[in-house]
Amino acid sequence: MGTKDVKPTRSELIELKKKIKLSQSGHKLLKMKRDGLILEFFEILNKAKGVRNELDDAYDNATEKIGIAEAVEGRMVIKSTALALKDGPEISLESHNIMGVVVPKIEASSVHKPINKRGYGILGTSSYIDETVDSYEILVDKIILAAEIETTMKRLLDDIEKTKRRVNALEFKVIPEMQEAMDFIRFRLDEMERENTFRLKRIKA
Amino acid sequence: MRLFQRLRNKSSSATSSGGSNYAYVTARVRAMKSNLLPKETYSRLMNMDLDEITRFIGETQYKQDVDELARKFKGVDLIEHALNRNLAVTFSKLIDISEGELNYLITEYLKNYDIWDIKTILRGKYYNATLEEIKDNLVSAGQLKYNFLSELAEKESYEHVIDTLSNTDYYPILKNYDGTNLPEIENQLDKLYYQRLFNAIGTPKSSDRKLFSKLIRTEIDIKNIKTMFRMKKEGVEDGELEDLVLDGGLRLSLKEINSLVPLPFADFINSLEKYPYWDAISDFASPDMESLVDLETSLTKYSIKSAASFSHEYPLSIVPIMDYMINKKNEVNNLRIIIRGKAVNLDDEIIRNQLVI
């Protein structure tokens, strides 16, 4: 808002005063939101680190289990057994709110299945296959958890960045410009009042 | 289809006739046995890298299979398919050269491959897998030949597959498949295999047949122990476990198994102490065991080693033929364990633990 565009009227001054007050309270709130989001982000960051480590471990374990199963049973056996499993996990996506940031809540059902509900016969298979399936079920669980936490983290980061930009814009641009405009109007109004007083004195004389 | 009918006719005539050619088949088996890799080969292979092992396998009896499959597969997959193909050709040869009762016994023993292939085809149809995917996972080492299995795999739906098998012993089970109860059908097919094998032994009178019976019944015991461990560890209901145990075990009769089924996991493990299999599992079996893999490997080793222990007895009987089949399968398994294990960078220690030498 340049001072050139400002009409130096009393009503404009009142309007500007209102706007500055509103911007200052907005600025304060946004600062609080930014700080809150940062705190929340660090909490989730710690959780994300833990989940990422668990995910890496689960992946290593699943890779080793399938490696052993492929070696002992053969890849053909593993592939054939895998054909008996058609149903994937059902993923439901909900959302919840952290300080106005909509973050996903991912829930998956039927990832873990008991040995007798997995789709393959027991007598023709072995514990190598059971343990491979187990380890991949755990891996899928961890992937879902990591997806939820890491998406939340990304959304929070985006929102922190956005809030920071808004806080800075209010603090360094919007409020100072409005204050400058307010000063300009005050100055012009004072000037106009002085001119008026001078004009009245000249008429009187 | 004609081929299949011919096979069926051969099989049904074999069960009725008694003229077996033990002398001829055992002589052939002795010659085939000389092609098996000596034990010390495995430790040499363990010190080779993947390319060296591949080259080594390509220079052995598996050369022809490797060459013929090289257009379709490569790397470790090529070796695995070549090993399986060689196994299938070898076992099919045994079925083809044997006659009478011997043919009947070998065929019954190798029917687990037929059951495996039928299961693979049904799984493929259930999953809507491509024809190639199904065919690539077939091992025609049993009575059903590859061409027939390919025809089966080409059928449009599982109903057509089952209709084509309507003249087989599997049909009474397969006809109950409704597209949703595959695990149940698979279990029943596997139970049928052991039941038929047990019936094939009948009441053994001669010493060699007693030995053969011992071998099969030990295998049933070991299968039952593995099944019980897997189900009890997962806490599956007793009723379901009872449906999965096999009759005809050597040391564990059905009555004894039924008394083991309701026991809590810890008591179940303690109860196994009185059986000869305890030595094989005592190091791994504990109520809080996390993995069954080592226990299962140990039981498999026990089974193979106990079969090998009496292989030299009764040279003109089913025993040396069974011994050859077990050793051939073991060789294929060992080679696959080494090559697959090395391909996925498993520790040498893990690979060695899985080998049965």
Q: Which has the higher per-residue pLDDT, A111 or A22?
A: A22
**Whole-complex ipTM:** 0.88
Is the pLDDT confidence value at A132 over 70?
Answer: yes
What pLDDT score does A108 carry?
A: 79
Q: What is the pLDDT of residues B306-324, one digit of tens each?
A: 877 777 777 778 888 988 9
Residue B131: is its pLDDT beyond 50?
yes
B84:A76 CB<8 A: yes
Band (B8; pLDDT cuts 50, 70, 90): very low
Mutate to test the interface with B, among A59, A85, A116 (most CBs of B within 10 A): A116
Sorted by where each begins, the domain ranges of chain A are 3-204
Residue B6 has pLDDT above 70, yes or no: no
> Kindly report the CA angle at B116 between B112 and B117, in degrees rounded to 5?
120
Helix axes A75-83, A127-169, angle to 10 degrees: 70
Is residue B339 classed as helix, strand or coil in its secondary structure? helix
DSSP A158-179: HHHHHHHHHHHHIIIIIHHHHH
Contact B240, B228 (CB under 8 A): no
What is the enclosing helix (H) or strand (E) of A104?
A: strand A101-109
Interface test with B, best of A68, A113, A120, A125 (most B CBs within 10 A): A68
> pTM score, two decimals?
0.84
More confident residue, B131 or B3: B131
At A95, phi and psi to the nearest 5?
A: -135, 150
Q: Do B127 and A86 touch (CB under 8 A)?
A: yes
The pLDDT assigned to B357 comes to 81
- B-chain residues near A119 (CB < 8 A): 182-183
- Go through chain B and tell me how many residues it has: 357
Structure tokens at B116: 């495996």
Cα A116 to chain centroid distance, Å, stands at 41
Block residue for tokens 């909509």: A102
What confidence tens digit (pLDDT) does each residue in B225-282 have?
999 999 988 888 777 888 889 988 889 998 999 898 888 999 999 999 999 999 999 9
State in Å, rounded, how far the first CA of chain A is from the last one.
42
| Cα–Cα dist B52/B46, whole Å | 10
**Best interface-test mutation with B: which of A85, A118, A122, A131 has the largest number of B CBs within 10 A?**
A122
The shortest C-alpha distance from A133 to chain B (Å) reads 13
pLDDT of residue B207: 80
Among the listed ranges B12-21, B61-70, B165-174, B336-345, which one has the minimum average pLDDT value?
B12-21
Distance between CA atoms of residues B11 and B104, nearest Å: 7
Between CA B26 and CA B30, with CA B29 as vertex, the angle to 5 degrees is 90
Residue A2 DSSP code: -
- Whole-number Å distance between alpha carbons of B293 and A65: 10
Q: Assign B210 a pLDDT band (cuts: 50, 70, 90).
A: confident
Residue B230 · residue A130 · CB < 8 Å: yes
Q: In this predicted model, which residue has the larger pLDDT, B313 or A98?
A: A98
> Residue B314: phi, psi to the nearest 5?
50, 70
Mean pLDDT of chain B: 88
Return the axis-axis angle of helices A10-73 and A75-83, rounded to nearest 10°: 120
Mean pLDDT in residue range A66-88: 90
- CA separation (Å) from A148 to A100, A143, A153, A160, A161? 17, 9, 9, 18, 20
**Is the CB of residue B206 less than 8 Å from the CB of residue B255?**
no
Look up residue A198 and give its two tokens.
């001078």
Nearest-Cα residue of chain A relative to residue B134: A80
What percent helix, strand, coil does chain A show, rounded to 5? Answer: 75, 10, 15
Query: Using 50, 70 and 90 to split pLDDT, how confident is the model at B201?
Result: confident
Tell me which DSSP letter residue B181 carries.
-
- In whole angstroms, what is the distance from residue B137 CA to residue A153 CA? 44
pLDDT tier, B5 (very low <50, low <70, confident <90, very high otherwise) = very low
Amino acid at A162: K
Q: Under a CB-based contact definition with an 8 Å cutoff, are residues B210 and B220 in contact? A: no
- A3-204: CATH topology is Helix Hairpins (1.10.287)
Q: Which residue of A has its CA nearest to B341?
A: A71
Using the predicted structure, report yes or no on whether residue A92 has a pLDDT greater than 90: no
B77–A75: do the CB atoms touch at under 8 Å? yes
Torsion of CA B146, B149, B153, B159, to 10 degrees: 180
Model pLDDT, residue A195: 94
Mean pLDDT of A99-119: 83
Contacts of A124 in chain B (CB under 8 A): 115-116, 119, 186-187, 189-190
- Strand-pair category, A101-109 with A90-98: antiparallel
Answer yes or no: is pLDDT of B1 > 50: no
Task: Kindly indicate the confidence band of residue B2, based on its pLDDT and cuts at 50, 70 and 90.
Answer: very low
Residue B33: exposure state from Cβ atoms within 10 A (0-12, 13-18, ≥19):
middle
**Mean pLDDT, range A48-70, rounded to an integer:** 94
> What pLDDT is attached to residue B239?
79
Q: Is the pLDDT of residue B12 over 80?
A: no
Q: What angle do CA A46, A52, A54 make, to 5 degrees?
A: 105
Q: Would you state the pLDDT for residue A32?
A: 94
Nearest to B177 by CA among B167, B163, B156: B163
pLDDT at A1: 54
Mean pLDDT of B122-147: 92
d(CA B332, CA B12): 30
How far apart are alpha carbons B12 and A137 in whole angstroms?
Answer: 46
In angstroms, the separation between the Cα of residue B211 and the nearest Cα of chain A is: 24
Alpha-carbon Rg for chain A in angstroms: 33
